[in-house]
């Protein structure tokens, strides 16, 4: 009987830890990139983007990129909002 009680407590503890881990995983928010940054993108030293139209986007770093997605992608920054920050 003692073994059955220990097994039941072990099962309940495992279940509780599993639910806690599941809740922690769901609470993490993944910020989507609205400009589809290429995988393994690295910032370039010279982002000489010439744009004719002001098309701002807001990067995950809180910086507004006036030339839009091409400028944000050149700096390897994910875009979280279309428009200025």
Residues 53 and 79 in one domain: yes
Note down the domain range covering 18. Answer: 1-30
Of 76, 41, 44, nearest to 61 (Cα)?
Answer: 76
Residues 26 and 38 in one domain: no
Let me know: does 55 contact 66? Beta carbons within 8 Å: yes
Residues 44 and 78 in one domain: yes
Residues 56 and 80 in one domain: yes
DSSP assignment of 33-48: -TT-PPTT----S---
Residue found under tokens 């690295």: 42
Indicate which CATH number applies to the domain containing 45: 3.30.60
Token output for 25: 């995983």
Let me know: does 79 contact 34? Beta carbons within 8 Å: yes
Share of the chain above pLDDT 70, in %: 64
What is the model's pTM?
Answer: 0.59
Token output for 19: 């639910």
Q: What are the pLDDT digits (tens) for 16-42?
A: 666 555 555 555 566 677 888 776 678
Phi first, then psi: give them for residue 80, nearest 5 degrees: -110, -10
């Amino acid at each position: 009987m003692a073994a059955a009680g220990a097994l039941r407590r072990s099962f309940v503890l495992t279940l509780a830890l599993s639910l806690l881990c599941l809740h922690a995983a769901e609470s993490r928010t993944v910020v989507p990139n609205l400009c589809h940054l290429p995988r393994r993108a690295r910032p370039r030293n010279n982002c000489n983007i010439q744009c004719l139209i002001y098309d701002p986007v807001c990067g995950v770093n809180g910086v507004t990129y006036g030339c839009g997605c091409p400028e944000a992608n050149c700096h390897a920054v994910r875009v979280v909002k279309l428009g200025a920050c």
